[in-house]
Structure 1
Amino acid sequence: MAILGEIRKRSWLLLGVIALGLFAFLFNADTFDKLFSKNPNVFGQVNGEDITRDEYNDQLFIMQQQAQQQGQPTKGLEEQAWQILVQSKLIKQQFEKTGLTLSDDTFWSQIQYDPIFAQNQQYFDEKGNFKVQQLKTDIEKSQAAQPEAYSFWLKNKKAIEYRMMARMLFGNVTSGITTSKKEAELMVKFRDEMANIDFVKVDYLEFSKKNNVKVTTQDLADYIKLHPTRFKATASRNIAYAYFPAAPSAQDDAATLNEINKLFLKGTDASNGAENFQNTTNDSMFVELNSDVPFIPQYVSPTQLPTELKDKIATAAIGQTFGPYKEQTLYVVSKLLDKKASDSTLSKHILISYKGAERSTATRTKEAAKKTADSLMAVIKADPAKFAEGLKLSDEPNAVERNGSVGWTTPESQFAPGYLSFLANNAKGSTGLQETAFGYHIINVEDKKSGAMTYKIAHLAKNIKASDKTENQVLTQATRFIQQTQGKSFNQFKNLAEKNKYRFDNPKAVGRFQGTLPGIGSDKDAEVIAWAFDKKREIGDTDIFTVEGTGDRIVAYVVGKQDEGLADPETVRDQIEPIVKNKVLAKKILEKINAGKYASLDQAAKALGTTKASATINVFNPSVNGAMEPKVAGAAFGVAANKLSQPIEGMTGVYLVVKKSVTTNKLPGDIKQITESITQQNSQQFTGALLKSLQDNAKIEDYRIDVWDRNPQQ
């Protein structure tokens, strides 16, 4: 069942229609109070269609698998899972509205085009035919032999179906997008024609230096009302917090240095000082018992060593020690135990795996695997040329295509120890059988070459931690701060934090299922967010939180509460204030220009305190002396020659324009090429625009806050 196993390993490709990038929110409905009006099995609705608890948890499970496989955190995935489900429902609904269907036959005929299959040659035979029957057989066998793998397939099958619907829907819709010859000719004209203009510009920045303009909350609100779709907001909280890290003091640093010096020179209490790191005869055991960093037996290259050792290790003698030295948050003493040249080995193998072996999807027993491996080994020993034929039995993905090769490896490579041991102890040309946690390997050593010197080193390390005394001082500091700011305004909270140079931040729109707080990333982030969303919470409330393991303190303050609807103006001030300020400035400038009733650019320039300038502008590249001004380009081609335009509210200022002439600069590309290019560009843009339109106009209900807040212990 190598194919099904490969699907499981490559689950990161099965995240839904839209790849939105990264803690499980598994909710036990059986414990829910049945008196509540919300159904605990329904987390939301999209146009009346339920998003169920099982769907939500399945999507989170898939995303957790992806995060774990990529070594990424598994916290804060709830919102991304929700968005993927919403988009998937919208696509399915639109798919069905258009009369399209996804039958079982269609599913299996189209599955080869899904990214997880299309991008991997393992699923195709030598003639390029997709091995759909083998995939079906593997899945059917797994239902009884590997129920966990079968369950995983069912979860991901839904995501594959949504992707198929998206491809079919977008393919059908965009097939109707065409470009007429007239449209292409107009685009060519816009591309090639250049307007030569004289203009006067009242720059917003320069005007604001002499005309103080303050953007009020009402100004922001008015702008938001004009763009309701753009500023549609989900429930969020405006949270501010001061962070009090329990950083080790100078005394804590000195205490850690004394501790490691004692272990290095004087020895442990358990040995009554008889054994220390300098004289011990069992370095690995001494490190395991006394170090905050485990003993690593591998040989490493100089590039993998701490900076303190890199330039000294080549001339060091076996047994020589270095330190104590500081490496990030550690004090370290290092001892050279051995050194040897790192031979590189080129090898290939046939893997015969079994049920229960690491990463295995095989169904045979261990005994059956051993019997198969022994039999195949005997055949290859008698005729080495049979190795290539034996690769067909290998449980390693793509074994035949790769000729079983694992490439060049060194003793430091991240391979199974048994495999590396075989390579180290067998000469070039050797073939033999070796067992590892992955199964039985028939290994052939293809080549060997000498490499650079590598070193085996024992590191005795101690973390420089904050003492109880230091943690208590941090608690006192945080407690004093919350007492001083309780019942005070946000500005007083902020000013006191900044005055005392405490670490301060104010993310203005934190979502309920965001998972992490910007600038912190601690295990208390989710608790702070849940606290801020508590129905009893009021603006101005404060509380103190302790980060487990570090003793750091977070003092949080609720600045504002945003319910679902239009965004709170102050929450998006940083985002839109520059735009709104320019509009307020433009209004003042327009009033001044309209009052002046200028007859010429020279008259306008003199009255407005600016200068007349010239430029060449094009609709496709509407740049006026480095500033992108599409409205100016439109006016330049719209105004009659040598006539003064009406004031134009541009991106960087208000303009008055006179078009002197239009010239044509014919660029390469015939009408056919341009027609195809425009059609392709419009098709690409349409798919994203369609999905956004579906979401903007959908009735989306999110019940997660109600469900979760009534079950905070789950």
Structure 2
Amino acid sequence: MAILGEIRKRSWLLVGVIALALFAFLVNPDTIDKVFGKNPNILGKVNGEEITRDEFNDQLFILQQQAQQQGQPAKGLEEQAWQLLVQSKLIKQQFEKMGLKLTDDVFWSQLQYDPIFAQNQQYFDEKGNFKLQEIKSEIEKAQTSNPENYGFWLKNRKAIEYRMMARMLFSNVTAGITTSKKEAELMMKFRDEMANIDFVKVDYLEFSKKNNVKVTTQDLADYIKQHPTRFKATASRNIAYAYFPATPSAQDDAATLNEINKLYLKGTDASNGAENFQNTKNDSMFVELNSDVPFIPQYVSLNQIPQELKGKIATAAIGQTFGPYKEQNLYVVSKLLDKKASDSTLSKHILIAYKGAERSTATRTKEAAKKTADSLLAVIKADPAKFAQGLKLSDEPNAVERNGSVGWTTPSSPFAPGYLKFLADNAKGTTGLAETSFGYHIINVEDKKSGSMAYKIAHLAKNIKASDKTENKVLTQATRFIQQTEGKSFNQFKNLAEKNKYIFNNAKAVGRFQGTLPGLNTDKDADVITWAFDKKREIGDTDIFTVEGSGDRIVAYVVGKQDEGLADPETVRDQIEPIVKNKLLAKKIVEKINAGKYTSLDQAAKAFGTSKASATVNLFNPGVNGAMEPKVAGAAFGVAANKLSQPIEGMTGVYLLVKKSVTTNKLPGDIKQIVQAITQQNSQQFTGALLKSLQDNATIKDYRIEVWDKAQK
């Protein structure tokens, strides 16, 4: 079944312990000499349990595999790997505190429910029975026959165990979540009862137009201190930057156009004009030697060619050229090399891989693979029915279950060129051998049908690049800017950047292992972050960085330094300023209401220049004329009938209300249904709440910054 090889290819399924939101974890700024005097391979601790460098590297490797398989950039994965490890440790610790055990017998009995197995039918027989003994047997054999795959299995078994512990932990805990009949009756009452109220609302926005308040840094700090759990902060830096792109000038554009015209019409210097893109006899070689875009040998469909060619290519003659034309940041000349009907081919194959082949986990040599493939091909040609038996030797996952089929393909399908060439060159019913970067393929052409036209096109392309003159101009601009802002305040840095219309951004909370800066995503982002976290770095420091390849410049400025603890108020201003401002406005409004000693809603409405309104409110759905106001709904049921309430600090304003009556509107649903619904809802919410509680109450030490900084020195 090639189980271990399949697990390696599907390793991204192992990255998460459970599908829960990740939380920010604390960073400890203890000195490295104190912490790492004896063991620099410990990157942190979770409630005293160590996170080792090996554990971290294993987790990071899995995440990198996931990113590669999904075609995503492998940036910022260090922080995700750390968070997943912390989450796993917390679950394991709670699992053991509850007296639960994950024995070897339990592990094997639960393996079939793990996503990497449960989601793959090859691990179950036709009756749906899990092939446990086959799996165990292959793993045991791998200890001697394939130590590399066996080592990979041992590393990933930990992730599987963490997931098992999570399922068992949450299953045991949520099993105890129940809902009493009394609770259900109360919820039904909240759902069905409606309070009819008259009210006056002093809207925060309207009040602020004449009574504006300024939210100070201290106001933000006071709010953060009142909510310490919400504003725990990791070590971060507030980094501002001005970006100076080396955008090609009009002269650079013209120079690139001249360069491609020369190759197109006159030829290279080496050929002295004898060979150019129009008359070359070897288009692929000419492109490989002279183009900034590699030659693509495959045939492509009409929707895969540049827009410039779409209305012309169908009637074009073989050898006809088009251009030069612009395609994004390129000048391109295209030549039609061939066109033919895009026949669809149905095929199946047996892959015989070897050590070193692409995505291969095989240990055989290339010579041994060729010998095996030739022998198997001879057997199958003598008796085509033997193809099915030969599939057992295939190194492709699920080959037997899929009968080796790759489905219908066309010349433009994203397959290895050698495979597609075999399909193009051979008729229906042919069985033969083809070599690709994946190994040797014994291919059977099962069927063919004609399709739309496909085109083989050679593209001679040149990047429109900034010249040395343009790059020097950008360097001069960036250098002048850093000289003008050196030793200046952040506001002066910002104002000068905006005045000169430079690209400017202020990344307020950049983590040490974040990998990228908001709005940039260049190869220098990590260098800027490392620079900002240097122990010698002070607020107000500046430096200049050059982006490789493009010549772009980044001038960075350290605006603030955040160590472990409560968040710096200014880094979260955008997040909490509206809330704090409303609280300050509410305080003023309440003071004015209390000073007025109003005895009716009409008096309050007149004093604040607003009007009295009516609404029907409900505790279950606490909306007041379109605004969600849970405090107002609670007060509506708490105040005595026909009595003026105290001022209520709501979400959108301060309210005064008078409850006129309470009515009951009985909605469908009996007690049993309500009990089940509440229990299910509580169980679903509990897993996330439990993990957050474990994190909030844990002692988490993160020594990575000290380790990395020391290693770099």
Give a deviation string over 1:375-424, Cα, whole Å, max 9, x none: 66566556655555554554432234333321110112122333323322
Distance 2:257 2:394 in 1: 53
Please provide the CA RMSD for this pair.
2.2
When the two structures are superposed, what TM-score results if normalisation uses the length of structure 2? Answer: 0.94
Q: Which moved more, 1:490-499 or 1:672-681?
A: 672-681
User: Structure 1's 667 and 388: CA in aligned 2 closer, same or farther, altered over 3 A?
Assistant: farther
Which consecutive unaligned segments of at least 5 residues does structure 2 have?
23-31
Alignment of 1:203-218 (within 5 A): 203-218=203-218
Alignment of 1:205-354 (within 5 A): 205-353=205-353
Name the residue aligned to 1:647. Answer: 647
User: Structure 1's 36 and 633: CA in aligned 2 closer, same or farther, altered over 3 A?
Assistant: closer
SS of the residue 2:446 aligns to = strand
Distance 2:365 2:489 in 1: 69
Give a deviation string over 1:574-629, Cα, whole Å, max 9, x none: 11000000000000011111112222212221122111111222222211121111
Quote how far apart the aligned CAs of 1:193 are: 2.2
Quote how far apart the aligned CAs of 1:138 are: 2.0
What amino acid sits opposite 2:341 in the alignment?
Answer: A
Name the residue aligned to 1:523. Answer: 523
Alignment of 1:470-549 (within 5 A): 470-549=470-549
Distance 1:118 1:567 in 2: 42
Q: Does 2:100 correspond to 1:69?
A: no
Quote how far apart the aligned CAs of 1:81 are: 1.1
Name the residue aligned to 2:25. Answer: none
Distance 2:35 2:697 in 1: 33
Q: Is the 8 A contact 2:411 2:454 kept in 1?
A: no
Name the residue aligned to 2:600. Answer: 600
Name the residue aligned to 2:426. Answer: 426
Distance 1:483 1:615 in 2: 62
User: Structure 1's 250 and 415: CA in aligned 2 closer, same or farther, altered over 3 A?
Assistant: same
Would you say how many aligned residue pairs link Structure 1 and Structure 2? 704
SS of the residue 1:125 aligns to = coil
Q: Is the 8 A contact 1:345 1:445 kept in 2?
A: yes
User: Structure 1's 687 and 59: CA in aligned 2 closer, same or farther, altered over 3 A?
Assistant: same
Name the residue aligned to 2:625. Answer: 625
User: Structure 1's 364 and 252: CA in aligned 2 closer, same or farther, altered over 3 A?
Assistant: closer
Distance 1:394 1:148 in 2: 19
What amino acid sits opposite 2:398 in the alignment?
Answer: N
Name the residue aligned to 1:186. Answer: 186
Give a deviation string over 1:488-520, Cα, whole Å, max 9, x none: 111000000000000000011111111111111
Quote how far apart the aligned CAs of 1:12 are: 0.6
Distance 1:310 1:46 in 2: 60
Give a deviation string over 1:630-667, Cα, whole Å, max 9, x none: 11111112222222221110000011122222233333
User: Structure 1's 261 and 33: CA in aligned 2 closer, same or farther, altered over 3 A?
Assistant: farther
Quote how far apart the aligned CAs of 1:147 are: 2.4
Distance 1:89 1:56 in 2: 12
Q: Is the 8 A contact 1:242 1:554 kept in 2?
A: yes
Distance 2:353 2:479 in 1: 59
Q: Is the 8 A contact 1:198 1:615 kept in 2?
A: yes
Give a deviation string over 1:274-319, Cα, whole Å, max 9, x none: 2211222221111111111111111111111111111111111111
What amino acid sits opposite 2:301 in the alignment?
Answer: S
User: Structure 1's 361 and 190: CA in aligned 2 closer, same or farther, altered over 3 A?
Assistant: same
Give a deviation string over 1:125-146, Cα, whole Å, max 9, x none: 1121212222222222223332
Distance 1:324 1:20 in 2: 52
Give a deviation string over 1:137-165, Cα, whole Å, max 9, x none: 22222233322222222221111111111
Name the residue aligned to 1:666. Answer: 666
Alignment of 1:687-698 (within 5 A): 687-698=687-698
Q: Is the 8 A contact 1:355 1:366 kept in 2?
A: yes
Distance 1:436 1:34 in 2: 55
Q: Is the 8 A contact 1:38 1:707 kept in 2?
A: no
Q: Is the 8 A contact 1:4 1:361 kept in 2?
A: no
Give a deviation string over 1:157-183, Cα, whole Å, max 9, x none: 111111111111111111100111111
Distance 1:21 1:293 in 2: 41
Name the residue aligned to 2:29. Answer: none
What amino acid sits opposite 2:95 in the alignment?
Answer: F
Q: Is the 8 A contact 1:44 1:703 kept in 2?
A: yes
Q: Is the 8 A contact 1:343 1:450 kept in 2?
A: yes
When the two structures are superposed, what TM-score results if normalisation uses the length of structure 1? Answer: 0.94
SS of the residue 1:710 aligns to = helix
User: Structure 1's 586 and 38: CA in aligned 2 closer, same or farther, altered over 3 A?
Assistant: farther
User: Structure 1's 374 and 545: CA in aligned 2 closer, same or farther, altered over 3 A?
Assistant: closer
Name the residue aligned to 2:51. Answer: 51
Q: Is the 8 A contact 2:431 2:445 kept in 1?
A: yes
Q: Is the 8 A contact 1:419 1:434 kept in 2?
A: yes
Name the residue aligned to 1:136. Answer: 136
Distance 1:133 1:152 in 2: 20
Q: Does 2:465 correspond to 1:465?
A: yes
Distance 1:21 1:65 in 2: 21
Which consecutive unaligned segments of at least 5 residues does structure 1 have?
23-31
Name the residue aligned to 1:26. Answer: none
User: Structure 1's 361 and 141: CA in aligned 2 closer, same or farther, altered over 3 A?
Assistant: farther
Q: Is the 8 A contact 2:21 2:688 kept in 1?
A: no
Q: Is the 8 A contact 1:342 1:451 kept in 2?
A: yes
Alignment of 1:12-51 (within 5 A): 12-18=12-18, 37=37, 39-51=39-51
Alignment of 1:109-148 (within 5 A): 109-148=109-148
SS of the residue 1:711 aligns to = helix
